[in-house]
A = this chain, B = another copy of it.
Amino acid sequence: MRILKGGIVAPDGFYASGVHCGLKKKKLDLALIYSEVKCNASAMFTKNIVKGNPIIVCKEALIDGKAQAIIINSGNANTCTGEDGLIKAHYMTELVAKAMELDKVDVLVASTGVIGVPLDVSLIEDSIETLKEGLSRTGNINAREAIMTTDLIHKEVAVSINIFGKEVKIGAMAKGSGMIEPNMATMLAFITTDINIENSLLNSALNIAVNKSFNLISVDGDSSTNDSVFIMANGLAKNEIIDSENDYYFEFVDALTYVCVELSKLIASDGEGATKLIECRVLGCKNELEGINIAKAVIKSSLVKTAIFGSDANWGRILCAMGYSGIEFIENKVKLAFESSRGYIEVFKEGIPIEFDETKAKEILKDDDISIIIDLNMGNEKAVAWGCDLSYEYIRINGDYRS
């Protein structure tokens, strides 16, 4: 697997653009992804009962498993906006269909931003021609900006692999920084690939990758109304079609998982107010699911998050979070350690605190990429989840922005 530049336009035949239409004051707020041929397409959406109108539109449009373009706006989630909002989400796909001469059902739509404010769709209508004209093989640069809300960094990844002797590329971009929670987040992710693959296998590959990545991150425990992960495969790599779960399928799954994990870590480390990425690795589990539940409880704990913010090796809070995760374990078998690029330190073993060098622990925890390592000593499985610390800045962004 090779790492590429170019994000969503790295794969052959994909074009993107991003413009400012006026939903935000100054920043880019409208993006388009377009494939020169029709794609096999799949998506996964939020499990929140309250769903954004764009999701309702996309679910219908994806019944045939095909798509050729995605329009995305930031600055307004078009959620809890009633029948009017649904009509406008449909209208966004119609605008693109007309401009690009596509069938309406081959256009997908995603929105992110404030909930409950009527969408001024005329701003999008007025910008659709500029958006179309901007489509290019370097359009990832504007598109990745246009989908951002409180994100501080843009998030994109691209890789290539060899499938049946052909170079197959996968590109992706994502946004997301608050309302981030396992089972996705106010997180939008868009994945493009030129692989030639059957639709059902594209769908199962996406499922596997999402469960090993986006579903393992948490910023603040709030699972959003608009979370969506899209994938479009246009087949232009011209590899022999993947129509069974052969070795190449699993190679594709691995590469797709890599792409999704990298985006997930970017999202977690860019969590609202985050100063540190926290990885929780659980070793020695009886099974992976139990490990995931423990890891999620730890990265979601406000007390663990604030301790890491303060570079404080307060391992009691980790044990406490493990204890309410709902998973059985034996306290006297547990080992706890912290690790970063600055070193490794064990703090608890076999039911007893280890006397450790607090200065060294603090130094390790001052890094901006912290691993919490839990060994349950109960089996041979392992699991991981990612989150971020909880800082003053999270409060300012979410509680103080109007005052």
Mark out the residues of chain A between 353 and 403 whose CB falls within 8 Å of any chain B CB in the assembled complex: 353, 389-392, 394-396, 398-403
Number of copies: 2
As a 0/1 sequence over residues 286 to 309 of chain A, the CB contacts with chain B under 8 angstroms (1 = contact) are 000000000000001111011111
Q: Indicate whether A225 sits within 8 Å of B303 (C-beta atoms), given known contacts A117-B353, A331-B50.
A: no
Indicate if the CB atoms of B50 and A320 lie closer than 8 Å.
yes
CB distance from A299 to the nearest CB of B (A): 12
Indicate if the CB atoms of B395 and A306 lie closer than 8 Å.
yes
- 8 Å CB contact of A306 from B48, B80, B310, B398: B398
Indicate if the CB atoms of B310 and A179 lie closer than 8 Å.
no
Q: How many of chain A's residues have a CB under 8 angstroms from any CB in B?
A: 67
Whose C-beta in chain B lies nearest to the C-beta of A308? Answer: B399
A322 interface contact, C-beta 8 A: yes
How far apart are the CA atoms of A311 and B77 in the complex, in Å? 22
Indicate if the CB atoms of B323 and A353 lie closer than 8 Å.
no
Whose C-beta in chain B lies nearest to the C-beta of A82? Answer: B352
Query: Which candidate, A10-18, A123-131, A164-172, A215-223, is the interface stretch facing chain B?
Result: A215-223
Q: Indicate whether A302 sits within 8 Å of B220 (C-beta atoms), given known contacts A49-B323, A49-B329, A312-B399.
A: yes
CB distance from A392 to the nearest CB of B (A): 5
How far apart are the CA atoms of A179 and B321 in the complex, in Å? 10
> Which residues from chain B contact A225 at a C-beta distance below 8 Å?
316, 319-320, 323
How far apart are the CA atoms of A81 and B178 in the complex, in Å? 37
How far apart are the CA atoms of A331 and B48 in the complex, in Å? 12
Interface centre among A83, A116, A223, A312 (most CB of B within 10 A): A116
Indicate if the CB atoms of A402 and B310 lie closer than 8 Å.
yes
A351 interface contact, C-beta 8 A: yes
Mark out the residues of chain A between 260 and 315 whose CB falls within 8 Å of any chain B CB in the assembled complex: 300-303, 305-312, 315
Interface centre among A302, A329, A394 (most CB of B within 10 A): A302
Mark out the residues of chain A between 101 and 143 whose CB falls within 8 Å of any chain B CB in the assembled complex: 114-118
Mark out the residues of chain A between 319 and 338 whose CB falls within 8 Å of any chain B CB in the assembled complex: 319-324, 328-329, 331
- 8 Å CB contact of A328 from B49, B118, B353: B49
CB distance from A97 to the nearest CB of B (A): 27
- 8 Å CB contact of A50 from B49, B183, B322, B392: B322
How far apart are the CA atoms of A389 and B49 in the complex, in Å? 24
- 8 Å CB contact of A221 from B77, B301, B310: B301
How far apart are the CA atoms of A328 and B309 in the complex, in Å? 36
A42 interface contact, C-beta 8 A: no
> Which residues from chain B contact A396 at a C-beta distance below 8 Å?
392
> Which residues from chain B contact A310 at a C-beta distance below 8 Å?
398-403
Q: Indicate whether A300 sits within 8 Å of B221 (C-beta atoms), given known contacts A49-B322, A316-B115, A320-B50.
A: yes
Q: Indicate whether A222 sits within 8 Å of B390 (C-beta atoms), given known contacts A311-B403, A398-B306.
A: no
- 8 Å CB contact of A398 from B79, B307, B315: B307
Indicate if the CB atoms of A353 and B80 lie closer than 8 Å.
yes
Indicate if the CB atoms of A324 and B79 lie closer than 8 Å.
no
Indicate if the CB atoms of B49 and A398 lie closer than 8 Å.
no
How far apart are the CA atoms of A394 and B389 in the complex, in Å? 13
How far apart are the CA atoms of A360 and B10 in the complex, in Å? 51
Which A residues are closer than 8 A to B by beta carbons? 47-51, 77, 79-83, 114-118, 178-179, 181, 183, 220-225, 300-303, 305-312, 315-317, 319-324, 328-329, 331, 348, 351-353, 389-392, 394-396, 398-403
- Please give me the 7 A-B residue pairs with the lowest Cβ-Cβ distance, nearest first: A115-B316, A306-B399, A50-B323, A306-B398, A310-B399, A48-B323, A309-B399
